[in-house]
């Protein structure tokens, strides 16, 4: 704090965003009101006989972003469809996740995971009306306005992910000419969100593995990125010994392993036809 002339209280927006996304959102949405609240909170730590009680204190927010607009989640999805129909060569409509759709789902999962890592949870008690999309510094941010509380455990964590899946994943279902109405890998992602491992968050190693799995899920990759990943994994798999393949299968997700085996079988069938 600079005590020359009018005292200035300096706060770093990036620091606030890291530890309290709700306060960061409030700074963007209502900067004057929130800055006054910060000053009032600061005054509580000033000795009663200090001259600072009787003078104005200004707030200088460092790294403050350029706020462009705010939309409620469901309003945003109306103008930014999360999934579209892609017509294949056989004239069959296939649901494909748009860039916005992938970013929204991944953004909210990251948001919830970050709160969980701090030991905070909603215990599934939030609604679609609590979820907003902000346009800040030319990119989108995803927030849940309701404040989470301490007390994270397996049940509370499971309820959060089930609630998130219940709100978001229904927005990714598309009526097409076939029975497959979800984008690739979304069925697996939905199952993972609704069925958390029994030893999370108590087991730190399992927690890290699970959160990395859902934050970097195959559903978020583009079709080309998924194809390249599976092809490269297939090349590694083919070079392994039988015992190493068993170890490989235990390390990667079972669904990815089945994809690799399917690709291998497909190429083997093609070679036999020749």
Spatial separation of the C-alpha atoms in residues 242 and 239, rounded to whole Å: 10
pLDDT of amino acid 114: 92
CB 163 within 8 A of CB 124: yes
- Please give the average per-residue pLDDT across 229-241, as a whole number: 80
Residues in CB range of 248: below 8 A, 6 or more apart: 236, 237, 240, 257
Containing H/E element for 168?
A: helix 154-168
Percent of the chain with pLDDT over 70: 86
Tokens standing for residue 145: 């306005």
pLDDT of amino acid 155: 96
Residues in CB range of 199: below 8 A, 6 or more apart: 206
Walk across the sheet containing 139-144 and list its strands.
Answer: 67-72, 131-136, 139-144
Residue 68: how many other CB atoms lie within 10 Å: 13
Find out whether the peptide bond into 201 is cis, omega within 30 degrees of 0. Answer: yes
* 253 burial via Cβ count (<10 Å: 0-12, 13-18, 19+): middle
54-106 tens-digit pLDDT: 788 888 989 989 888 899 999 999 999 998 888 766 677 778 888 899 999 99
Asked if pLDDT for residue 46 goes beyond 60, the answer is: yes
pLDDT band at 43, cuts 50/70/90?
Answer: confident
pLDDT band at 124, cuts 50/70/90?
Answer: very high
196-229 tens-digit pLDDT: 999 999 999 999 989 998 998 888 887 788 778 7
Long-range contacts: 10-17, Cβ < 8 Å, 24+? 10/59, 10/60, 10/61, 10/62, 11/38, 11/59, 11/60, 11/61, 11/62, 12/61, 12/62, 12/63, 13/61, 13/62, 13/63, 13/64, 13/65, 14/62, 14/63
Asked if pLDDT for residue 24 goes beyond 70, the answer is: yes
pLDDT band at 185, cuts 50/70/90?
Answer: confident
Locus of tokens 């909170």: 41
Asked if pLDDT for residue 241 goes beyond 60, the answer is: yes
pLDDT of amino acid 105: 93
Q: Which of 53-62, 157-166, 168-177 has the lowest mean pLDDT?
A: 168-177
pLDDT band at 150, cuts 50/70/90?
Answer: very high
- Structure-model confidence comparison of residues 157 and 247, the more confident one: 157
pLDDT band at 25, cuts 50/70/90?
Answer: confident
Asked if pLDDT for residue 158 goes beyond 90, the answer is: yes
Asked if pLDDT for residue 167 goes beyond 60, the answer is: yes
- Please give the average per-residue pLDDT across 240-267, as a whole number: 70
Spatial separation of the C-alpha atoms in residues 118 and 102, rounded to whole Å: 25
**Average of per-residue pLDDT values in the chain:** 84
């Amino acid at each position: 704090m600079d005590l020359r002339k009018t005292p200035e209280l300096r706060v770093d927006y990036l620091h606030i965003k890291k530890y309290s996304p709700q306060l960061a959102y409030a700074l963007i949405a209502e900067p004057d009101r929130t800055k006054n609240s910060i000053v009032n909170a600061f005054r509580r730590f000033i000795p009663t006989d200090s001259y600072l009680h009787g003078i104005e204190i200004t707030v200088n927010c460092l790294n403050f972003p350029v706020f462009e607009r705010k939309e409620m989640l469901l309003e945003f999805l109306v103008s930014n469809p999360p999934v579209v129909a892609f017509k294949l060569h056989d004239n069959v409509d296939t649901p494909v996740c748009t860039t916005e759709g992938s970013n929204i789902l991944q953004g909210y999962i990251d948001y919830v995971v970050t709160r969980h890592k701090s030991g905070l949870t909603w215990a599934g008690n939030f609604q679609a009306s609590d979820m907003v999309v902000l346009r800040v510094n030319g990119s989108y941010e995803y927030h849940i306005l309701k404040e989470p509380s301490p007390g994270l455990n397996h049940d509370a964590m499971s309820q959060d992910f089930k609630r998130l899946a219940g709100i978001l994943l229904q927005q990714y279902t598309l009526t097409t000419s076939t029975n497959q109405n979800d984008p690739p890998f979304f069925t697996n992602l939905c199952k993972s969100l609704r069925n958390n491992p029994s030893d999370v968050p108590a087991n730190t190693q399992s927690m890290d593995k699970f959160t990395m799995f859902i934050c970097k899920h195959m559903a978020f990759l583009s079709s080309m990125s998924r194809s390249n990943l599976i092809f490269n994994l297939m090349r590694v798999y083919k070079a392994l010994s039988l015992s190493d393949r068993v170890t490989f299968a235990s390390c990667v997700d079972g669904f990815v392993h089945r994809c690799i085996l399917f690709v291998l079988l497909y190429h083997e069938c093609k070679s036999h036809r020749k």
